[in-house]
């Protein structure tokens, strides 16, 4: 995890309720904080902004494990002072990627949905998302549509069509989207 990860792990270890979390959740929260600090450094965020962002991201998870609010506040203050540089280059393989995110993490409440996951989408390819009920497919797609994934390209426009949508059997998804959504797909998609 590196020097920053070790410092963050030590900061989390100083809060007994966080130390008591199960290994996966503790690792997730530490990696989330590491990722946020690296991102904040890259974007020139202030420690005060980082503290607020950390609190917003990790407080709900820690509250579910009964970590007191003052302990979360103290932890976020300590973490916000650990801003470092984190410019990790992704090697260019010559492919035309629309999305190229490395080592992302995604949680919902106290549940970790993605852990150290690469999300790489190549232009002009089609992708499907398959998984058991309750595993987080809808949560992932909802976060993609909102652009609520660290590093998600802001220029992308995403539309999520709920699977409960009623349409004629002969109607294509593209046709339905053109006629029913406020956001219209570009003609090149057809």
Q: Quote the pLDDT of residue 63.
A: 82
pLDDT at 42: 66
pLDDT of residue 184: 52
Listing DSSP states for 41-108 in one string gives: HHTT--HHHHHHHHHHHHHHHHHTTT--HHHHHHHHHHHHTT-----PPPPP-S--EEEEEEEEEEEE
Signed CA dihedral, 166, 173, 184, 148: sign only? positive
Task: Read off the tokens for 47.
Answer: 């420690």
pLDDT of residue 43: 67
pLDDT means over runs of 10, the chain (190 residues):
72 76 80 82 72 87 83 84 50 73 76 78 84 84 83 78 72 76 54
SS3 assignment, position 117? strand
Q: How far is CA 95 from the centre of its chain?
A: 24
Summarize pLDDT for 1-51 with one digit per residue, the tens.
Answer: 457 777 887 887 777 777 777 788 788 888 888 888 877 766 666 777 788
């Amino acid at each position: 995890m590196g020097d920053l990860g070790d410092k963050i792990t030590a900061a989390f270890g100083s809060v007994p309720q966080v130390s008591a979390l199960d290994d996966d959740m503790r690792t997730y929260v530490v990696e989330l904080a590491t990722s946020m600090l690296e991102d904040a450094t890259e974007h020139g965020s202030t420690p005060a902004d980082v503290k607020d962002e950390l609190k917003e991201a990790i407080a709900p998870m820690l509250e579910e494990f009964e970590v007191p609010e003052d302990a979360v506040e103290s932890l976020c203050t300590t973490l916000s002072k650990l801003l470092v540089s984190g410019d990790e280059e992704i090697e260019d393989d010559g492919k035309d990627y629309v999305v190229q995110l490395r080592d992302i993490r995604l949680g919902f409440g106290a549940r970790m949905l993605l852990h150290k996951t690469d999300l790489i989408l190549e232009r002009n390819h089609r992708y499907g998302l398959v998984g058991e009920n309750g595993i987080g497919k809808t949560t992932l797609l909802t976060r993609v549509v909102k652009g609520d994934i660290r590093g998600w390209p802001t220029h992308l426009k995403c539309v999520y069509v709920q699977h409960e949508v009623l349409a004629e059997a002969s109607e294509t998804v593209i046709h339905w989207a053109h006629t029913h959504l406020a956001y219209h797909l570009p003609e090149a998609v057809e």
